[in-house]
Structure 1
Amino acid sequence: MFSPFFSIIIPCFNSEKTVYRCVKSVINQSFSNYEILIIDSKSSDNTLIEVRRFNDFRIKIHSHLDLGVYDAMNKGINLARGQWIYFLGSDDVIYSEHVFQNIYRYIYNENFSVIYGNVKVFGDVGWAKDGDIYAGKFSKNRMLFKSICHQSILYKRDFLILNNLFFDLRYPVSADWHLNLRCRRLTKFKYVNLIIAVFTAGGISTLKRDTFPEQIKTEFADLFPSRGEVILNKIFKLIIRIFK
């Protein structure tokens, strides 16, 4: 029985213009032990015809009505059989053909549950410009003010399932940010200086807002540094500056 290492989850809805290029960027990977889960929201165009052109046993199509992209991603988590889960937008692409091979080298025999890198931005968005590399290493404090792009992050499936970590549908734009903070509360993240994907502007995260940013200080108050930690951090930075 085929046992994939990675599960690549691609939510779709009327994505006929972009989905072939998206899936092809996965099919072209030099690392081949993965499955692709197409979570389609009953597209009325040729999205599924474009996907079926590949005729690849690793591609699994699930087409049912859903409550939006995060609901589709939650369904993907439950359907995934891989050890590691990765979410890719249907209008995004993997950055190069060796991305999963390089990630596998970092993951293999390592004991962490979340790994992330960078994305290259295609088109202008509110938080980055066309061509920017977003966004380097995130400290715990930085995560409280800015989100790690979900096209640059991978999660160990067992970690998500055992801790009941799914996307909260109360946040139609920021559910990935919310999930990452819940994960960070439980474990440290591993950063690798790799470009994972090309993120295309124009999705829900660039067009809408929700209430989550205003609720961070309440729900995740325990993650904010104490006054003592802030003072010690300032002293440490001052000492480093003096020695330099």
Structure 2
Amino acid sequence: MKVTILTVVYNGAATIRHCIDSVLGQDYPDIEYIVVDGHSKDGTQEIVQSYGDRIARFVSEPDAGIYDAMNKGIQLATGDVIGILNADDFYAYPSVISDVAAAFAAGDFDASYGDLEYIDANDATVVRRKWVSGAYKVGAFLNGWMPPHPTFFVKKEVYHTHGQFRLDLGSAADYELMLRFVHREKIRLAYIPKVLVKMRAGGVSNSNLKNRIAANRNDRLAWKMNNMEPRFYTLWLKPLRKIIQFI
């Protein structure tokens, strides 16, 4: 099984090398690595190009934002399974992709996911939050559940069948896609009970109250777009679940 890893980046020179090294350091033998850059001006392009043909595809051009870049990468992917690792993130250990491949091989699954740690932006050894996903239960999205998107590996055929990222939902685009795939279309999920990805703290949607309110509005719109109704507490439980991650 070929696994495509996609990294999208814009002006990520400070962290992109750590991200790339964590992909190229994986022990799984059949990885296609694609980097889509939004025409960075800070030296990111030169860093990526320094890896030569160890990166299968490198595209650098203006885009309409992070999810537009992800869609471009999905279109370029030739792997059976696609994983998306942002430029600020890195894989937690060298056999992450081997574990992902084993999870798919263990059953008739459409996607897999695992756990994630938020680390200090300046010190990768300091864990700020731990997102323990737990095994999926039907209807879990109604209780505010979602898997960490950087740990979410999906068969390419699922994107072909059920679509890619919407560009009109801001930072809720990954939530809408997973809501659509998992809750509406009922794809089959495999849970890997390990920390697969480490993410630097400081996400846009949670950076202040104004952004959190905007994210909540877009989360609600994600349900409406899919012709589904959340429960009255669904979209309040979603951010409240994050409090537990600090414990």
With the length of structure 2 as denominator, give the TM-score of the two structures: 0.80
Give % identity: 24
Structure 2 residue matching 1:132: 3-state secondary structure: strand
| Partner Cα separation in structure 2 for residue 24 and residue 181 of structure 1 | 31
Q: Match of 2:140?
A: 142
Question: What whole-Å deviation, never above 9, does each CA across 1:66-89 have from its counterpart, x for those lacking one?
Answer: 111111111111111111000111
Which of 1 and 2 has greater Rg?
A: 1
Question: What whole-Å deviation, never above 9, does each CA across 1:71-119 have from its counterpart, x for those lacking one?
Answer: 1111111111111000111010001001111111111263221111111
Amino acid at match of 2:158: F
Worse-matched range after superposition: 59-68 or 206-215: 206-215
Structure 2 residue matching 1:173: 3-state secondary structure: helix
Q: Match of 1:197?
A: 197
Over the residues paired in the alignment, what is the CA RMSD in angstroms?
2.2
Amino acid at match of 1:78: Q
Do the aligned partners of 1:123 and 1:131 also contact (CA within 8 Å) in 2? no
> What are the equivalent positions in structure 2 for 1:67-146 lying under 5 Å apart?
67-108=64-105, 110-123=107-120, 130-144=128-142, 145-146=144-145
User: In the TM superposition, what is the alpha-carbon distance from 1:155 to its structure 2 partner?
Assistant: 0.5
> What are the equivalent positions in structure 2 for 1:47-58 lying under 5 Å apart?
47-58=44-55
Q: Match of 2:29?
A: 32
Do the aligned partners of 1:166 and 1:179 also contact (CA within 8 Å) in 2? yes
Report the CA distance shift for 1:123/1:135 in structure 2 as closer, same or farther (over 3 A): farther
Do the aligned partners of 2:11 and 2:42 also contact (CA within 8 Å) in 1? yes
Q: Which runs of 5+ in 2 are unaligned?
A: 122-126, 232-247
> What are the equivalent positions in structure 2 for 1:134-173 lying under 5 Å apart?
134-144=132-142, 145-163=144-162, 165-173=163-171
Do the aligned partners of 2:131 and 2:148 also contact (CA within 8 Å) in 1? no
User: In the TM superposition, what is the alpha-carbon distance from 1:22 to its structure 2 partner?
Assistant: 0.3
With the length of structure 1 as denominator, give the TM-score of the two structures: 0.81
Do the aligned partners of 1:77 and 1:85 also contact (CA within 8 Å) in 2? yes
Report the CA distance shift for 1:170/1:108 in structure 2 as closer, same or farther (over 3 A): same
| Partner Cα separation in structure 2 for residue 66 and residue 85 of structure 1 | 20
Count how many residue pairs are aligned between Structure 1 and Structure 2.
Answer: 217
Do the aligned partners of 1:117 and 1:153 also contact (CA within 8 Å) in 2? yes
| Partner Cα separation in structure 1 for residue 222 and residue 38 of structure 2 | 30
Q: Match of 1:213?
A: 219
Q: Which runs of 5+ in 1 are unaligned?
A: 226-244
Amino acid at match of 1:154: F
Do the aligned partners of 2:108 and 2:188 also contact (CA within 8 Å) in 1? no
